[in-house]
């Protein structure tokens, strides 16, 4: 999202402006919807190829990266798939390959690629202690920004 001046609005900016923490700190789970799924939806809604698929009465195939250890998420997500008029969700790690997280790590390493980090914000209240300590060591600037958000949200 952008403000009136064309400046990009981030969750960090939103938290600092409102004096709050991400919604998960208050028991809500809106971050993924608002900052991951929403932007992807917006992109597809305006992409000519997606629009052409929908105009033809078909659904766009979307690949979801749940691994075989995430059965609960997979089953929950599948409940909504048939009702979705825009997307056909596929789960290749579970449905086709039966890969666990360890299988994914092994394949990435065998390909000589770096392991991806966790897909959360550097200031996520759900971070584990070791993740916070790693952030402090590896990215002290981000660690300080996370502390600033917390301090700003204190009563």
Res 152: pLDDT: 97
Q: What is the dihedral of CA 69, 110, 119, 137, to 10 degrees?
A: 120
Res 7: pLDDT: 83
14 and 153 Cβ atoms separated by less than 8 Å: no
Res 142: pLDDT: 97
Q: How many CB atoms lie within 10 A of CB 94?
A: 22
What digits encode the pLDDT tens for the residues 72-130? 999 998 888 888 999 999 999 999 999 999 999 999 999 999 999 778 899 999 999 99
The radius of gyration computed from the CA coordinates of the chain, to the nearest angstrom, equals 19
What digits encode the pLDDT tens for the residues 23-77? 999 999 888 888 888 889 999 999 999 999 999 999 999 999 999 999 999 999 8
């Amino acid at each position: 999202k952008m403000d009136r001046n064309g400046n990009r609005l981030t969750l960090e900016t939103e938290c600092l402006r409102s004096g709050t923490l991400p919604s998960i700190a208050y028991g809500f789970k809106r971050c993924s919807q608002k900052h991951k799924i929403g932007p992807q939806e917006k992109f597809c809604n305006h992409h000519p190829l997606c629009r052409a698929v929908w105009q033809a009465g078909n659904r766009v195939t979307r690949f979801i990266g749940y691994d075989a250890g995430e059965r609960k998420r997979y089953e929950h997500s599948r409940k909504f798939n048939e009702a979705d008029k825009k997307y056909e969700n596929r789960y290749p790690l579970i449905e086709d390959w039966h890969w666990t997280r360890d299988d994914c790590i092994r394949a990435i390493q065998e390909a000589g690629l770096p392991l991806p980090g966790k897909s959360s914000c550097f200031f996520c209240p759900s971070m584990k202690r070791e993740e916070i300590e790693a952030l402090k060591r590896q990215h002290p600037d981000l660690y300080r920004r996370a502390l600033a958000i917390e301090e700003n949200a204190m009563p």
